[in-house]
Structure 1
């Protein structure tokens, strides 16, 4: 249970830093994408606490890539969802290959950082 609390607090911290990073002009957009991937990783880690980190990393990467590729789908209903603040933050707006690289880096960074987080 103690570990879940650490993950939850870390997720909250990442969300705050990610939102702030979008408000500061000189911070590259890729930083927000990296933080988004890290948030996804730790959310999945929080939900599947007993899973191996490599499994969590794979599932996180799959989810991030699925969300990114879903941006190629431009039906009116999903475009309207993406036009909202929450929809834009969760689903993104347009497909970019550079986002896939940022997600990969963010998940790799999260996976590596696991050994520095407090153990169960």
Structure 2
């Protein structure tokens, strides 16, 4: 339960940081303003998967988060009126995005990879060969 709460707290922090990047983007360096939001979103998805499936490996969470993030991005190619109506809301845009951008896939990969690396470092780095998949 302790680990689950830590991952949920990390996800909440990432949400706050992501909203902050969106809100204050005009005052941030262009590299951060342009790319950090999507990377933070993907890192939050990684933490969400770690919270849901604490007993599974970090690698599994990384792959699940990456597949989920890519699926959301590719879903933006679908432009039916009903889903565009959902995307027109603030919450819908934050969760589903608005339009497909190939660069977002790179941002998601960076966010998931950073979350994975930080998670591994916080857990004590490299483990014995028997526990490397975790």
User: Which TM-score band (shorter chain)?
Assistant: over 0.9
Number of residue equivalences? 119
Aligned to 2:45: 40
For 1:28, the equivalent position in structure 2 comes to 33
- Give the structure 2 partner of residue 15 of structure 1: 15
TM-score scaled by length of structure 1: 0.94
* Greater RCO (CA < 8 Å, at least 6 residues apart): 1
Runs of 4+ in 1 over 3 A off after TM superposition: none
Give the alignment partner of residue 114 of structure 1, picking from 115, 119, 131: 119
| 8 Å Cα contact 1:7/1:43 also seen in 2 | yes
In 2, the alpha carbon distance for the partners of 1:39 and 1:83 equals 22
* 8 Å Cα contact 1:41/1:110 also seen in 2: yes
2:77 match: secondary structure = coil
Q: What's the RMSD between the two structures over aligned residues? A: 1.2
Unpaired stretches in structure 2, ≥5 consecutive residues: 125-134
Alignment of 1:35-114 (within 5 A): 35-114=40-119
5+ residue gaps, structure 1, are none
Deviation, 1:33, is 0.2
